[in-house]
Amino acid sequence: MSTVLIVEDDPQLLQALAINLRARAYEVKTAIDGESALRVAASGPVDLVILDLGLPGMDGVAVIRALRGWNTVPIIVLSARDTQPSKVSALDAGADDFVTKPFGMDELLARSRAALRRSAATTDEPIVRAAHFTVDLSAKRAIRDGHDVRLTPTEWHLLEILVRNPGKLITQRQLLQQVWGPTYVSETNYLRVYMAQLRRKLEPDPSHPQHLITEAGMGYRFEP
């Protein structure tokens, strides 16, 4: 069963989309604004996002950019903005498809099936091997010395973002926004606590980490 996240601030349209998708055996999650959409996406696996561009507060393009910082989930944009610049902005930000309102439900469902097929055909969830531990992105497992390491969902999300970007500095702001949401971008103490926990579980010498590296005042980096 595929899980679809619908992000739409029109309650009638949100309900109609949810009913039609559930009737076709999709699991449905919903959000009415960008901030809650990012929290839902970070809270568990999502296979497809159907996203309205004209959201209150954080607009749809900003949501796409935030998701693309750590997630390759297919994104279908819904918008009443039937202009080329709107489409280009959404696609450049990382959207996979664009459906103009008003739209036919059959068309949207067909585009959703196509996006899920493409995702299934191209998904490559590698096994990331560091000197002292292994991360299986497909199985969502971390293994050290031949044993599974028990991680909380928050610890896993942090680790996944870092290991998907080996050698790349991920800023504190990016991590806080992607894991906790835009309202937490100044809570750097969250990162210190959770990174310390990850190091205790994965590093041979947590006080001198070899893999989960702090770039002082900037962010964190994964080195295999």
Model confidence pLDDT, tens digit, residues 154-176: 899 899 999 988 888 888 988 98
Same-domain check for residues 214 and 114:
no
pLDDT digits (tens, 9 = 90+) for 79-101: 886 667 777 888 888 888 889 88
- Give the residue ranges of DSSP H helices in the chain: 11-23, 34-43, 60-68, 84-93, 105-122, 153-163, 172-179, 188-202
Are residues 192 and 154 located together in one domain of the fold?
Answer: yes
Residue with tokens 């964190």: 220
| Boundary (domain end) residue, out of 122, 152, 175 | 122
Indicate if 157 and 206 belong to the same structural domain: yes
Residue that wins the pLDDT comparison between 179 and 202: 202
| Whether residue 117 sits in one domain with residue 8 | yes
Q: What angle, 0 to 180 degrees and rounded to 10, lies between the N-to-C axes of helices 11-23 and 105-122?
A: 60
Q: How much is the average pLDDT of 109-133? A: 81
Residue 200 has which token pair? 């205790």
State the residue range of the domain holding 136.
127-222
Residues 39, 98 share a domain: yes
Residue 124, pLDDT score: 55
**Residue that terminates a domain, selected from 106, 122, 138:** 122
Average pLDDT on 25-49 reads 92
Residue 51: other Cβ atoms inside 10 A: 25
Evaluate whether 157 touches 149 at the Cβ level (below 8 Å). Answer: no
- The answer to whether residues 213 and 149 belong to one domain is yes
Q: Name the 3-class secondary structure at 168.
A: coil
Same domain, 150 and 56: no
How many structural domains comprise the chain?
2
User: How much is the pTM?
Assistant: 0.59
Q: If you ran DSSP here, which 8-state letter would residue 150 be given?
A: P
Task: Check residue 125 and give its pLDDT.
Answer: 59
pLDDT at 91: 84
Residue 122 pLDDT: 54
Q: Which sign does the torsion angle of CA 171, 177, 182, 188 carry?
A: negative
Task: Assign 51 to helix, strand or coil.
Answer: strand
Average pLDDT of the residues in 114-134? 79
pLDDT attached to residue 217? 85
> Considering 76, 105, 122, which residue would you say is the last residue of a domain?
122
Whether residues 105 and 139 fall in one domain: no
pLDDT, averaged across the chain: 89
Q: Could you tell me whether strands 170-171 and 141-144 are parallel, antiparallel, or unpaired per DSSP bridges? A: unpaired
What are 172's two structure tokens? Answer: 């504190």
Residue 88 sits in a domain whose CATH number is 3.40.50.2300
Please check whether residues 178 and 117 belong to one and the same domain: no
Per-residue pLDDT at 120 exceeds 80: no
Judgement on whether residues 108 and 181 belong to the same structural domain of the protein: no
CATH number assigned to the domain comprising residue 136? 1.10.10.10
Query: Positive or negative, the Cα torsion across 80, 89, 91, 23?
Result: negative
Whether 93 contacts 64, CB under 8 Å: yes
142 and 77 both lie in a single domain: no
Q: Which residue has the higher pLDDT, 222 or 72?
A: 222
Residues 154 and 107 in one domain: no
